[in-house]
Amino acid sequence: MRHAGSDSPSEITFGTDGWRAVIADSFTFSNVRRVSQAIAAAARNFTPPDGIDRNAMVVSFDRRFLSREFALEVCEALRAAGYRVILSKEPTPSQTVSFTAWKRKLLGGIVVTASHNPAIYNGLKFKAWYGGSGLPQMYRQIAENLDGEVPRREGGSIEQDDLLDDYVQALRENVNVSLLHEAHIAILHDPLYGVSSGLPRRVLEDTADALITTIRGEANPGFGGVNPEPIPQNLDATVEMMRSGRYALAICNDGDADRLGILDESGAFVSPHKVIALLALYLVRHKKESGEIVKTFSTSRLVENVARGLGVTFHETAIGFKYVADLMLTRRILIGGEESGGVGFGSFLPERDGVLSGLLVAECVAAYGKPLSEIVTEMENEFGRFFYDRRDVQSSRTAIDNLVERASRGDLDGLFGMPVMNREEKDGVKLNFKDGSWLLFRRSGTEPIIRIYCESPNEELVGSMLDVAVRELGN
């Protein structure tokens, strides 16, 4: 979403969960003011149910460079438009804004964050009264109000308040704290210098490193030179700590704590696909909880196999957690997740929560009384073992469109050494092969990049199939 040049209206583009841009390039105080004014104007036309305070919003921010100062700019724009604004006293996870809006029955909230993106970025996300991200139609209305007239209204105000106490208490009610204490499992927490630092310890009321040891917990706007995304290439320090053999698992979170990454007792990365499947299995089979299971189009079939095996209603949505959240607003969804590490629970919020999902993985380990790697292996033995990878390739729009169209027409079907059984076009083009493998071709919505995903029960096939798919981009 980076756009170079002056602060012209065309430079502000809303993605699947808000606006982000490079600090001091397009992410400037003037553009933050413009987006905040657009939210203030558009929100007057939103239609919350009775009982929602249409004149109140909550604002919070992450640990990035100038995030609090940008949040003050947001607050002032909302105040001038007549809103009573609650400003967080400290940096908090994005989901605390969702939680606070829902719990206090506010019209919505804004969080200043660029989530898992590099340190040079910042952004704004809108959260609504139902406790989740703004819907696509809301962002369309916000975009339509960019640079429109925002009438000043009386009655606006700004006050600071604590957003974390209620959120931490709610997490405590959704995690078996006593079980974790009784099991004495040691947890390593890596917030990647982000806003989840200290939160798992607060939830578990752990004050002496008895349960949780934190690394990279201090505030560092540069994130120590790594992107604050909990994926293997950013977790070398965490892996090194896990090799000591002292910890049962590591919980890693992104910059705004709505995503997670998990390492097992040996320091091996447990993919989000396996985490979603494992939590679904644990919640239904062990905790006897009920509800439906949902995954996005690019997420492993392991999740579907678990749902089918448990006899639970299963849904598959387009890519993006917003589609999972939409289902959570209308159906009884137990758990929903996406391949990028976002996991949410319908009984809590229609929102990703990397702190809650991480602690539930720890609870699962405590409940089974086995190493995490053994628990995962047992799940795979029962429901299938799959290997997964993805390539993001930059190319011309023409080449990308051509490849996706060829995949849709069937022109690629004979290139992978096995028959294509069918294709799905829910979000991109997915080729399903007879052995259970699949390839997904999907254009980026904001950049000249094609994302090619592959999953197979044969590990060697994943790399070779992706190689063939990438090679075809040039043909």
Residue 297 and residue 266 share a domain:
yes
Give the C-alpha separation, 254 to 237, whole Å.
Answer: 15
Closest by CA to 181, choosing from 209, 204, 198, 197, is: 204
Residue 196 and residue 130 share a domain:
no
**In-domain check, residue 3:** no
Single-letter residue type at 139: Y
Q: Is 352 helix (H, G, I), strand (E, B) or coil?
A: coil
Of 116, 132, 162, the residue at which a domain comes to its end is: 162
**In-domain check, residue 231:** yes
**In-domain check, residue 146:** yes
Residue 395's domain is classified under what CATH number? 3.30.310.50
Cβ atoms of residues 196 and 167 within 8 Å: no
pTM of the entire predicted model: 0.94
In order, the DSSP letters of 165-234 are: HHHHHHHHHHS-HHHHHHHT--EEEE-TTSTTTTHHHHHHT--SSSSEEESS-S--TTGGGS-S--SGGG
Q: Which domain holds residue 439?
A: 387-472
Predicted pLDDT of residue 2: 33
Residues making up the chain, counted from first to last: 475
Predicted pLDDT of residue 10: 44
Give the C-alpha separation, 102 to 92, whole Å.
Answer: 16
Residues 6+ apart with CB under 8 A from 266: 242, 243, 373
Q: Is 10 helix (H, G, I), strand (E, B) or coil?
A: helix
Which ranges of 349-396 would DSSP assign to H, the alpha helix?
354-368, 372-383
Give the C-alpha separation, 397 to 266, whole Å.
Answer: 42
Residues 6+ apart with CB under 8 A from 327: 292, 294, 315, 317, 333, 336
Residue 181 and residue 116 share a domain:
no
Dihedral angle sign, alpha carbons of residues 109, 126, 277, 217: negative
Of 162, 194, 220, the residue at which a domain comes to its end is: 162
Predicted pLDDT of residue 122: 97
The total number of structural domains in the chain stands at 3
Residue 173 and residue 158 share a domain:
no
Give the C-alpha separation, 165 to 440, whole Å.
Answer: 42
Residues 6+ apart with CB under 8 A from 186: 211, 212, 213, 246, 247, 248
Give the C-alpha separation, 452 to 458, whole Å.
Answer: 17
Residue 114 and residue 100 share a domain:
yes
Closest by CA to 428, choosing from 469, 475, 386, 384, is: 469
Residue 190 and residue 155 share a domain:
no
Q: Is 304 helix (H, G, I), strand (E, B) or coil?
A: helix
- Tell me the pLDDT of the chain (475 aa) as tens digits: 333 333 444 479 888 789 999 999 999 999 999 999 999 999 999 999 999 999 999 999 999 999 999 999 999 999 999 999 999 999 999 999 999 999 999 999 999 999 999 999 999 999 999 999 999 899 999 999 998 888 899 999 999 999 999 999 999 999 999 999 999 999 999 999 999 999 999 999 987 778 999 999 999 999 999 999 999 999 999 999 999 999 999 999 999 999 999 999 999 999 999 999 999 999 999 999 999 999 999 999 999 999 999 999 999 999 999 999 999 999 999 999 999 999 999 999 999 999 999 999 999 999 999 999 999 999 999 999 999 999 999 999 999 999 999 999 999 999 999 999 999 999 999 999 999 999 999 998 778 999 999 999 999 999 999 999 999 998 7
Of 352, 383, 414, the residue at which a domain comes to its end is: 383
**In-domain check, residue 1:** no
Give the C-alpha separation, 88 to 164, whole Å.
Answer: 9
Residue 184 and residue 146 share a domain:
no
**In-domain check, residue 2:** no
Tokens describing residue 307: 């749902």
Predicted pLDDT of residue 6: 37
Residue 463 and residue 351 share a domain:
no
Q: In what order do the strands lie in the sheet with 438-443?
A: 387-394, 449-456, 438-443, 429-433, 420-424
**In-domain check, residue 212:** yes
**In-domain check, residue 31:** yes
Neighbour count for residue 240 (Cβ, 10 Å): 11
Dihedral angle sign, alpha carbons of residues 262, 267, 269, 275: negative
Single-letter residue type at 269: F
Tokens describing residue 465: 């199939």
DSSP label at residue 151? -
Neighbour count for residue 178 (Cβ, 10 Å): 9
Residues 6+ apart with CB under 8 A from 144: 42
**In-domain check, residue 307:** yes
Distances (CA, A) of 368 to 172, 183, 187, 382: 20, 10, 16, 16
Residue 416 and residue 374 share a domain:
no
Cα-flanking dihedrals φ and ψ of residue 127, to 5°? -120, 145
Residue 17 and residue 132 share a domain:
yes
Residue 215 and residue 144 share a domain:
no
Residue 198 and residue 339 share a domain:
yes
Residue 77's domain is classified under what CATH number? 3.40.120.10
Tell me the sheet residues that pair with 314: 293
